Amino acid sequence: MAEADARAREGLTRKKARPGRIFPVLRIRFSTLVTSHSQFPVSLTLVNANVSEIRIPQVQTQPEPGPGAPEAPGDGPPAAISEVRRFLLARGNSALADRGFSWLMLLCGLSIFVIVGLIAYELVVRSELTLHKFGLEFFFQVFTDPDTHLKLFWDPVNAQFSARPFVYGTLVSSFLSLLLAVPLAIGVAVFLTEMCPLMLRGPLAFLTELLAAIPSVIYGLWAVFVLVPLLRDYVNPFLIKTLGWTTLFTDENPTGLGYLASGVILAIMILPIISSLTREVMSTVPHSQREAVLALGATRWEMIRMGVLRNARIGIVGSIILGLGRALGETMAVAMVIGATPEIHRSLLANGSTMATVIANEYAEAVGDMHLSALTEIGLALFVVTIIVNALAQVMIWAVTRGTPAQAR
Amino acid sequence: MRTVADGVVTGLAILATVIVVVPLIAIFAYLIYKGASSLNVAFFTKVPAPVGETGGGMANAILGSAMVLALASAIGVPIGIGGGIFLAEFGRGTKLAAAIRFTADVLNGVPSIVMGLAAYSLIVVPMGHFSGYAGGVALGFMMIPTVCRTSEEMLLMVPHAIREAALGLGVPNWRSVLSITVKTASPGIITGCMLAFARVAGETAPLVFTALGNQFWSTDLNQPIAALPLQIYVYALSPYDDWHRLAWAGSLVLIILIVFAVSLVRFVTSRGVLKGAS
């Protein structure tokens, strides 16, 4: 906002000076007037200086209160605090209290870093056992059951731990949810920003906000009693019949729980997030872009494709990644519908488990330190992955929306 | 050809909206219908009935949630608002503020279950048992980034002229911030806190192995304590119809809290100085 502000100001002064190109004499006079005005206070006595200093920033800060409201246009880098405030802050006997107050607020701000650091530290300390014993192998290794010679991933009793089935479950359910949610979310965002009658926009935006705020346990409750029976009785038989040949849908789990159910409920949960962020990003594309494309004779779809989606694509990808971050870490709703078995199945209708759900299901009743440590290491991996994913998404969204004032969102 | 493509895309966008909006409204209506038909006075006044008996309510869970949330707010609200004040008043335009803002946004996306793990190893392990304190700390940590960012946005909406007028009258800066800027933005800040409160009120994952849950009336934060979302989770997966009914009623209570918070935010940001804040 500060940059845009300063740029706008620069443009303003340049525009003022432009007539001077035609009338050189006038230009010189005008520019000397401007510079002498800005240097005016310096050459005056102290009392007058204060008075005129107060007057100048008042005029300049009023139209658009920005952090970098410059004292004089083109006069070095814009200061963070205006001259008036610096003068007023440096005077009087409240300097000590002010200093203390600003330090206290700084501490509050720094607490964010402290929390992140604390989480990372605690997770590393508590997962030391498995970190040392298995290392990175923890996420790939496969054990064999000594009796049945079957593959075995997670055996708390014999302290054999591999996060492989949970990584698999997390990836499958998250990507399934993205597959379902992304086309719909972008469709909704396009409809809301470009086609929707204004009357509908408010209520629909309110509805999305509301749905994004509903707790995951309530989505889980709904999924257990409505979605899972629906899938079990209608959708799954249909998928098995028509797409059974892909071996992605096999008829071995009659409960209706599993990867597909968790993918669907995750899609429902991340849809509001993706669509509202995409909408936000799309609405920051300047109107001149749309009008330029329309003026070339494009239809509305071509305008959306060339004028809007192309300009906003980084931000849209960012919002999808943010949705992915939510899907990766979502716990309760998934825990209620995925079936909670530490196995890997090719079929999307089979039971599974994700990184978040295994922690929720087993942590309170973990047997032994190794089990706790293994679960904590899964949490650590989840933490690191979501931090990376979210940081990436924030940077991408920021790349599109920066420079636009907060009101435009 | 081009107009056909245009028409097809318009149709698809409308179809997508219908596909999304209709089920979402259906979910919402179903939740409200199920909840409203399950809610009664006993829900608010009775503790859970023993297994096999009908009746009972969630009074203990409501009390437990209230206590845990009070602790969470006591941690999250002051620190969050303080961080917001720093970002909006002292750190404007600095690299540090940008870093804090970025970290807060990232922290917002960290799964709640990870917060639960951190609270477990910070509090449950040293104390040696599950407790309401651990749950409160986990939820409080989750509130900080949300409160911080909303307060900042609200404070940024306050015009500079108001601050400078206060300073010009000789008010110390800390007084000016607290009783002029924060006061002007206070409706927004309060609703921002409301929203953060409503969000963590429904959080289950961080409570599963911190507050743990409790079937009995307990007011001791130092012991395992019941919480509404936890109780909903346990009851939803139980085989008893009567417990399912209680779970629906519990979700309705949470939904009402959230609808209230979200509408309050919209109401406050649609008028006055704070108009246009997100």
Using a CB-CB distance cutoff of 8 angstroms, which residues of chain B are in contact with residue A300?
A: 6, 9-10
The residues, ordered by sequence, that sit 6+ positions from A274 with a Cβ below 8 Å of its Cβ are A181, A182, A185, A186, A319, A320, A322, A323
Locate the chain B residue with the closest alpha carbon to A119.
B118
Confidence check: pLDDT of B264 > 90: no
Render A316-330 in DSSP notation, one character per residue.
HHHHHHHHHHHHHH-
CA distances (Å), A187 to each of A46, A263, B36, in order?
A: 63, 19, 33
Confidence check: pLDDT of A238 > 80: yes
Which of A115 and B272 is assigned the larger pLDDT?
Answer: A115
**CATH classification at residue B157:** 1.10.3720.10
**Residue A250 pLDDT level (bands cut at 50, 70, 90):** confident
Ramachandran bin of A144, using left for φ above 0, alpha for ψ from -120 to 50, beta for the remaining angles: beta
Q: What is the pLDDT of residue A95?
A: 74
Rounded to the nearest angstrom, the minimum Cα separation between B215 and chain A is 16
Residue B57, phi then psi, degrees to nearest 5:
-145, -160
Rounded to the nearest angstrom, the minimum Cα separation between B38 and chain A is 14
Domains annotated on chain A, with CATH? 2-90 (no CATH), 127-408 (1.10.3720.10)
Cα A277 from chain centroid (whole Å): 8
Residue-wise pLDDT tens digits, B203-226: 999 999 898 888 888 888 899 999
**Residue A271 pLDDT level (bands cut at 50, 70, 90):** very high
Which range of residues forms the domain containing residue B219?
Answer: 56-274
A residues 59..118 contacting B (CB < 8 A)? 61-62, 65, 67-69, 80, 82, 84-85, 88-89, 92, 94, 97-98, 100-102, 104-113, 115-116, 118
Structural tokens at position A47: 């009392």
Number of H helices, E strands in chain A: 18, 4
Mean pLDDT of A115-137: 92
Q: What is the pLDDT of residue B91?
A: 86
Residue-wise pLDDT tens digits, B79-135: 999 999 999 988 888 899 999 999 999 999 999 999 999 999 999 999 988 999 999
Rounded to the nearest angstrom, the minimum Cα separation between B98 and chain A is 11
Q: What is the pLDDT of residue A199?
A: 83
Closest to B273 measured CA to CA, from B182, B167, B157: B157
Substitution target in B1, B4, B15, B17 with the highest count of A β-carbons within 10 Å is B17
Give the side-chain half-sphere CA count within 13 A for A104: 13
Locate the chain A residue with the closest alpha carbon to B256.
A214
Locate the chain B residue with the closest alpha carbon to A364.
B209
Q: What is the pLDDT of residue A88?
A: 65
Q: What is the pLDDT of residue B2?
A: 83
Q: What is the pLDDT of residue A25?
A: 35
Q: Does a structural domain hold residue B123?
A: yes
A residues 356..395 contacting B (CB < 8 A)? 356, 359-360, 363-364, 376, 379, 382-383, 386-387, 389-391, 393-394
Would the CB atoms of A125 and B80 count as touching at under 8 Å?
no
Chain B CB within 8 Å of residue A309 CB: no
Q: What is the pLDDT of residue A403?
A: 55
The residues, ordered by sequence, that sit 6+ positions from A162 with a Cβ below 8 Å of its Cβ are A134, A138, A139, A140, A141, A142, A143, A153, A154
Closest to A210 measured CA to CA, from A281, A280, A272, A278: A272
Q: What is the pLDDT of residue B83?
A: 95
Locate the chain B residue with the closest alpha carbon to A218.
B251
DSSP class of A349: T
Which among B19, B31, B122 is the nearest to A218, CB-wise?
B31
Q: Does a structural domain hold residue B47?
A: no
Structural tokens at position A26: 């006038």
Q: Does a structural domain hold residue B11?
A: no
Average model confidence (pLDDT) across chain B: 89
Confidence check: pLDDT of A394 > 50: yes
Which amino acid, B29? A
Locate the chain B residue with the closest alpha carbon to A68.
B93
Rounded to the nearest angstrom, the minimum Cα separation between B184 and chain A is 16
Which among A122, A188, A190 is the nearest to B118, CB-wise?
A122
Confidence check: pLDDT of A10 > 50: no
The residues, ordered by sequence, that sit 6+ positions from B76 with a Cβ below 8 Å of its Cβ are B139, B140, B141, B142, B143, B144, B147, B196, B200
Confidence check: pLDDT of A256 > 70: yes
Q: Does a structural domain hold residue B180?
A: yes
Closest to A115 measured CA to CA, from B250, B103, B270: B103
Residue-wise pLDDT tens digits, B243-255: 898 899 999 999 9
Cα B202 from chain centroid (whole Å): 7
Using a CB-CB distance cutoff of 8 angstroms, which residues of chain B are in contact with residue A97?
A: 172, 174
Would the CB atoms of B177 and A101 count as touching at under 8 Å?
yes
Substitution target in A332, A359, A390 with the highest count of B β-carbons within 10 Å is A332
Using a CB-CB distance cutoff of 8 angstroms, which residues of chain A are in contact with residue B89?
A: 105
Which of A258 and A55 is assigned the larger pLDDT?
Answer: A258
Render A179-231 in DSSP notation, one character per residue.
HHHHHHHHHHHHIIIIIS-HHHHHHHHHHHHHHHHS-HHHHHHHIIIIIHHHI
The residues, ordered by sequence, that sit 6+ positions from B194 with a Cβ below 8 Å of its Cβ are B260, B261, B264, B265
Average model confidence (pLDDT) across chain A: 78
DSSP class of A146: T
Which amino acid, B84? G
Confidence check: pLDDT of B179 > 50: yes
Task: Give yes or no for a contact between A18 and A11, defined as CB atoms under 8 angstroms apart.
Answer: no
Closest to A364 measured CA to CA, from A353, A356, A372: A372
> Would you report the helix, strand and coil content of chain A in percent, each value rounded to 5?
75, 0, 25
The residues, ordered by sequence, that sit 6+ positions from A401 with a Cβ below 8 Å of its Cβ are A280, A281, A284, A315, A409
**Residue A82 pLDDT level (bands cut at 50, 70, 90):** confident
Mean pLDDT of A267-296: 89
Rounded to the nearest angstrom, the minimum Cα separation between B263 and chain A is 8
Which of B137 and B53 is assigned the larger pLDDT?
Answer: B137
Total domains present in chain B: 1
DSSP class of A151: E
Q: What is the pLDDT of residue A120?
A: 95
Residue-wise pLDDT tens digits, A378-391: 999 999 999 999 99
Q: What is the pLDDT of residue B141?
A: 95
Structural tokens at position A209: 């906000």
Would the CB atoms of A109 and B97 count as touching at under 8 Å?
yes
Rounded to the nearest angstrom, the minimum Cα separation between B274 and chain A is 10
DSSP class of B20: H
Mean pLDDT of A360-364: 90
ipTM over the 0.85 cut-off:
yes
Choice among A146-155, A286-295, B217-226 with the minimum mean pLDDT: A146-155
Would the CB atoms of A409 and B112 count as touching at under 8 Å?
no
**Residue A90 pLDDT level (bands cut at 50, 70, 90):** low
Rounded to the nearest angstrom, the minimum Cα separation between A311 and chain B is 19
Confidence check: pLDDT of A333 > 60: yes
Rounded to the nearest angstrom, the minimum Cα separation between A177 and chain B is 14
Locate the chain B residue with the closest alpha carbon to A386.
B110
Confidence check: pLDDT of A180 > 90: yes
Choice among A44-58, A164-178, B58-72 with the minimum mean pLDDT: A44-58
Number of CB pairs, chain A paired with chain B, less than 8 A apart: 311
Closest to A223 measured CA to CA, from A260, A176, A249, A194: A260
Closest to A185 measured CA to CA, from A285, A316, A315, A305: A316
Which among A94, A122, A213 is the nearest to B122, CB-wise?
A122
Q: Beta partners for A363?
A: none
Q: Does a structural domain hold residue B49?
A: no
Which among B24, B111, B247 is the nearest to A382, CB-wise?
B111
Q: What is the pLDDT of residue A265?
A: 94
Structural tokens at position A148: 């049945």
Give the separation between CA B16 and CA B90, rounded to whole angstroms. Answer: 45
**Residue A29 pLDDT level (bands cut at 50, 70, 90):** very low
Would the CB atoms of B199 and A213 count as touching at under 8 Å?
yes
Confidence check: pLDDT of A46 > 70: no
Q: Does a structural domain hold residue B32?
A: no
Q: Beta partners for A152?
A: A143
Task: Give yes or no for a contact between A181 and B19, defined as CB atoms under 8 angstroms apart.
Answer: no
Q: Does a structural domain hold residue B214?
A: yes
Which of A151 and A57 is assigned the larger pLDDT?
Answer: A151
**Residue B269 pLDDT level (bands cut at 50, 70, 90):** confident
Locate the chain B residue with the closest alpha carbon to A181.
B20
Q: Residue A144 in 3-state DSSP? A: strand
Task: Give yes or no for a contact between A212 and A181, defined as CB atoms under 8 angstroms apart.
Answer: no
Which of B39 and A47 is assigned the larger pLDDT?
Answer: B39
Using a CB-CB distance cutoff of 8 angstroms, which residues of chain A are in contact with residue B204?
A: 215-217, 331-332
Mean pLDDT of B145-165: 90
Q: Does a structural domain hold residue B81?
A: yes
Q: What is the pLDDT of residue B277?
A: 63
Mean pLDDT of A161-172: 93
Residue positions counted in chain B: 278
Residues above pLDDT 70, as percent of chain A: 76
Give the separation between CA A371 and CA B221, rounded to whole angstroms. Answer: 27
Residue-wise pLDDT tens digits, A94-112: 777 888 898 999 999 999 9
Give the separation between CA A312 and CA A292, rounded to whole angstroms. Answer: 16
